[in-house]
Amino acid sequence: MDYVASLHPTPQAWLRNSALAPHIDAYAAYLRQGRYASVTTRGYLTCVAHFAHWMSQGCLQVPQVEERSIRQFLDEHLRNCNCPGPVMRVYGDLRAALGHLLLVLRAQGAISMVAEPTGPIADELHRYDDHMCNARGLTTGTRRGQLRIIGRLLLHKFSDRPVVISKLQPSDVRQFIAVQMKLVDTVSNAFTLASALRSYLRYRATCGDQVQGLFGAISSPAHWGLASLPRAFKPVDVERLLASFTPEIPSSLEQQGQAWAGDMIEVLTHANHTDNLNCAQGKTPNFESAKYQNQVRDLRDLYDAVLAQAEQDHPVAQPNAKRGRTKQSKAVNLIGRLRQYSDDVWRFMTQANVPFTNNLAEQAVRMPKVKQKVSGCFRTAEGAHTYCVIRSYVATMQKQGGDVFAALVSTFKGHVPPAKLWLRRLCVLQVG
């Protein structure tokens, strides 16, 4: 596919009439080999076209293209750009596209290679890079990120002096982390710093250095998503939790004058409170007992009464002369769903392994979305399908109480443990 021909005539002319024209086919082939999507390829070509137009205006030749000229384009020209549209002015896309352009130009010998840094720190980073590549099998991108962090640490401590790890003190590590967190104060940056520093210290431990005292200086932020919580709270814990909420803050429906919404929230919250009391200290309620069924029946009667009052206050709009379905208000649609799916709403009161919220379902789809939007995205439909199969299997094993690691080991040995066996085993354990 000729991506250049699919561009708008203006950026297309900028590319074909610039000094970069002989290298555009190689650039498109590089992106195609990297399995970039068509829309991404066209976007990057539009970015390169903007840069090519700037080169033509400044009479810049290809051998003069380097990191410095790209920084000048991004920091100076982009700020006051008045190039005729359509033109790409998104900083992140331009920086990524021009980074790929440098790789292509250096691969073709059109510009000089970056001089390899020298000195004690460069030698240490080279040895660590060989360890990550040959001993741990890390990818180029992962190694580059870790080398960037470790390079900053060594430069912070040793400058241009020889690297002597025994002189690295816990206070140096803590000060380095504090400086880096001031630059980017996010939880993800804290995780990245901690992971890179621990990996490097483990490498130095294999070299015979005494670095055990440095591990204590590396603190990790709390990961509440992995925190272990009890199956149910004790009554005193439930009371403390409910007392911590501010009752004066109404829900969005209550703010709209929907009084039934507050009644429904109170009924469902009380039902969840009752369920937590029945499941306190790991107990499983006797769903078949008359006492428990009376509790559920009373709560569902209140639920139906609230819905009946809501339907009386908000009747369904009658069909009109217009084609199609008659538009209903949000309140009417919600009332209808609560009525139609009432058994599903109350399933947490009749089945022990059904939670009150849908948090588990949201957690199940969170990792695919992170992979899609943050961690490199999916390059092919086949890769996305494979990823979803693996994630689905792992999530199912976790929800059914199976040993995920043992299941994966058995899978790689050619014996895939079916998830249904774990489900039957879990049911037997619960009944027993």
pLDDT (tens digit per residue) in 71-102: 999 999 988 888 887 888 888 889 999 999 99
Assess if residue 34 is contained within a domain.
yes
CB 245, CB 292: distance < 8 Å: no
pLDDT (tens digit per residue) in 284-335: 777 788 888 888 888 888 888 888 888 888 888 888 777 777 888 888 888 8
Distance, in Å, from the CA atom of 329 to the CA atom of 352, rounded to the nearest integer, reads 35
Assess if residue 303 is contained within a domain.
yes
Q: What is the mean pLDDT of residues 210-220?
A: 84
Assess if residue 192 is contained within a domain.
yes
| Three-state DSSP string of 254-281 | HHCCCHHHHHHHHHHHHHHHHHHHHCHH
Distance, in Å, from the CA atom of 208 to the CA atom of 219, rounded to the nearest integer, reads 23
> DSSP labels for 361-396?
HHHHHHHHHHHHHTSS--SSHHHHHHHHHHHHHHHH
pLDDT (tens digit per residue) in 385-420: 888 888 888 888 877 777 888 888 888 888 877 655
Question: Residue 149 has what pLDDT?
Answer: 93
Domain match, 155 and 193 both: yes
Range in 6-15, 144-153, 323-332 the model is least confident about: 323-332
Q: What is the mean pLDDT of residues 125-148?
A: 88
Residue 124 pLDDT > 80, yes or no? yes
Domain match, 205 and 272 both: no
The residue to which tokens 């890179």 are assigned: 196
Assess if residue 114 is contained within a domain.
no
Distance, in Å, from the CA atom of 14 to the CA atom of 48, rounded to the nearest integer, reads 9
Domain match, 150 and 208 both: yes
Domain match, 82 and 22 both: yes
Range of the domain at 283: 235-316+327-349
Question: Residue 375 has what pLDDT?
Answer: 62
**What pTM did the predictor assign?**
0.43
Last residue of a domain, one of 196, 222, 248: 222
Domain match, 96 and 181 both: no
Question: Which CB contacts under 8 angstroms, 24+ apart, belong to 203-211?
Answer: 203/128, 203/131, 203/132, 204/165, 209/165, 209/166, 210/166, 211/165, 211/168
Other Cβ atoms within 10 Å of 321 Cβ, number: 4
Assess if residue 201 is contained within a domain.
yes
Model confidence at 429, pLDDT cuts 50, 70, 90, reads very low
* Domains of the chain: total: 4
Domain match, 239 and 345 both: yes
CB 166, CB 209: distance < 8 Å: yes
Q: Which of 117, 127, 144 is nearest to 209 (CA)?
A: 127
Other Cβ atoms within 10 Å of 276 Cβ, number: 18
pLDDT (tens digit per residue) in 34-75: 888 888 888 899 999 999 999 998 888 999 999 899 999 999
The residue to which tokens 């209903």 are assigned: 328
Assess if residue 386 is contained within a domain.
yes
Last residue of a domain, one of 222, 254, 289: 222
Assess if residue 115 is contained within a domain.
no
Domain match, 147 and 239 both: no
What is the 8-class DSSP label of residue 18?
S
